[in-house]
Structure 1
């Protein structure tokens, strides 16, 4: 465990339980997917394990155990590269039902400690353990107990503890695995200042390069940079970036019982072989829309906007979106829109390596008036005669599993793809 601060007394007070002000922690499950595989396969413990796609095709690494990371393997790396770096690794495709099961058990542990739990992914959650708000014990003591209880499940976690989400997130990355990094109140700026700007979430490669050209390489330099200079990189979020870099962000953690506001529901896939024919691209979009439609129905949402995203084999790719005349949760109603959007961003001869479908615009008013050319239900949502079939498929999958029934188009792609859960857009 580490405690970083302006002075020894500040750190000592926090460790002794005398915490003043907000206390927010980020609980991050260590190499989660790989750790679950090692838990369920004892013979894999202590060995490099990679959860990911086929190294012989265009697969990617989902998660690598720490034994594999020592060889340079990391998440999102092409599987072929990971195989070259660590040829002795044990490969597995992943069992997401099992990962969700363990994740749910961890969330129960967190909810036992505080009602303020903000799940941000299958393996991460923020918790508010501010003294006096709900918890009576010191935040450090609570974090230690959480780590012990998670370890009893056969997996481990790392925790960052600070006054806000930015500090907690960065702290959680400092001592992995099985690390507890505490940034006591008043010590945020000293902790953050020497760290590279990339340590702060939301700063990617392009922003890092742009800041470097301005001679801003650390969070301390970012915190003191002129707002007008940062506007060129962060736009209207320039002042927010400065506040976060200086540790002055104010964060709110929702209660576990309150649903997260869903802004979009999406699904995208990288294909093991480039798609060159329109029929294959349309089949891929239909498969992605099937997943999006099912998630919309499960959450009781209807979307007023549909977006198609393509990444080409050569070049960056493009996306296009359209506001619908009437909201829908029916992928069959989305199909003609997807086809029309495809016309605007793809032409014959262009090869596609990734496709995505996203639905958004959930703030529309209910009860839209029907017109003569649309089949609207009582919610004002556009439907087709095939929606009942989709609802039936939803029910079968909920009872017997995702692979219990499917459309023929799935056979073209599913064998070679990793299924991923994306939070928070697809809770």
Structure 2
């Protein structure tokens, strides 16, 4: 709240590094500059981690099969990913962020939210603060970043993509309604291909259309997600920037050497459960209540199934047993084959709350 009792408008910046992994490789190897670079191993089982802006006009993008990328652009240069190096560069960028605000919420190695409502520097505006941050990144790392500036996280993230690469876009509070009126619903996080088709069947193509339909209709049709869609269509997003993001999920996953049917996945699920459990015991300070099974089909469709038992899992074996049982909920044809298996833990609560939940049941 401000001194006069009104709600204070936040100033949020979303910084997104431009083609981060590929750009790091091009920075470090001058021979790669200006050429189509694909960060991936050139093997039948590999997927693209990142693509330089020179590679993107060929239709190459992250998460596509590496062999397909090679067909789309035979002249592409494939570079195996070096995540140790990328993490070090990311840490350097985060140190720059922290000079401007202590309120930094990393989303990944290459993007973060910053709350610059009260910056650590003397700055006339959030717009100028974002410019200063981008200039420091360029000067100290040789890399470029794009930024979105807005009153909340939802809008800032959309804005950062508006003038990529090496661009900045600002949405001021009085501009929110007009900006959202023509915003394609596909730009709303969580609206994928399936959801987009459902909205299209309701003649909804923009955030303005969502607003016109109204919350009641959206809630009746989509439940809690409908309420959230209605809020976002109005530009409402009260999520604060969390400097110490607790893990939403601790997991382990692996791409298999060959595609396998569901009934052959048990040993691989066990292996991923062991890894996830080891990470959980090492990293988590809270109790995980939900088990997640992740699968990716041979044609790259991702599936997740989850279950919250009465008592949180207490061992890797218990975690693996629950994850294996989740195969019964996959609901796919029996001849379907899978290329990736993952096991995760989510739904974190503190120890007292976990004991209370167990007692209640």
Same fold per TM (> 0.5)? yes
Residue 260 of structure 1 corresponds to: 245
2:203 matches 1:218: no
Structure 1 range deviating more: 302-311 or 160-169: 302-311
Distance 1:226 1:90, change over 3 A: same
The TM-score, its normalising length taken from structure 2, stands at: 0.84
Structure 1, unmatched stretches of 5+, are: 1-19, 370-427
Question: In 1, distance between residues paired with 2:111 and 2:56?
Answer: 20
Number of the residue aligned with 1:294: 278
Aligned counterparts of 2:350 and 2:171: Cα–Cα separation in 1: 42
- Alpha-carbon shift at residue 341 of structure 1 (Å): 4.5
> For 1:300 and 1:310, how far apart are their aligned partners in 2?
24
Cα offsets for 1:325-372 (capped at 9, x unmatched)? 4543x5355344444555775998653222121112432635999xxx
How far apart in 2 are the matches of 1:276 and 1:21? 52
Displacement, 1:186? 0.7
Q: Check conservation: 2:48, 2:64, Cα contact below 8 A.
A: yes
Number of the residue aligned with 2:230: 242
In terms of mean alpha carbon deviation, does 300-309 or 241-250 score higher? 300-309
Indicate the SS of the match to 1:224.
Answer: helix
For residues 220 and 339 of structure 1, do their structure 2 counterparts lie closer, same or farther at Cα, with a shift above 3 Å needed?
closer
Q: Cα RMSD between the aligned structures?
A: 2.9
Partner of 2:69: 82
CA distance in 1, matches of 2:210, 2:329: 40
Q: 1:275 to 1:145 in 2, by over 3 A?
A: same
1:119 offset after TM fit, Å? 1.2
The CA deviation at 1:156 is 1.1
- The structure, 1 or 2, with the larger RCO (C-alpha pairs under 8 Å, 6+ apart) is 1
- Paired with 2:209 and 2:20, the residues of 1 have a C-alpha distance of 34
Cα gap change, 1:241/1:135 in structure 2, threshold over 3 Å: closer, same or farther?
farther
State the shift of 1:192 in Å. Answer: 2.3
Contact 2:262 2:327 in 1 (8 A): no
For normalisation by structure 1, the TM-score amounts to 0.72
Unpaired runs of 5+ residues, structure 2, are: 1-7, 356-361
Which of the residues 69, 73, 80 maps onto 1:93?
Answer: 80
Query: C-alpha distance in 2, partners of 1:228/1:216?
Result: 15
Taking the aligned partners of 2:290 and 2:238, their CA distance within structure 1 comes to 32
After TM superposition, give the deviation of residue 161 of structure 1 in Å. Answer: 0.5
Deviation at 1:169, TM superposition (A): 0.8
Q: Deviations over 1:236-282 (max 9, x none)?
A: 2323322222323334112x3xx323332223334352024856x23
Pair 332,164 (structure 1): closer, same or farther in 2 beyond 3 Å: same
- Count of paired positions: 343
Q: Given the alignment, which residue of 110, 114, 118 partners 1:123?
A: 110
Check whether the contact 1:158–1:179 (CA below 8 A) recurs between aligned residues: yes
Look at both structures and tell me which one has the larger radius of gyration over its CA atoms. Answer: 1
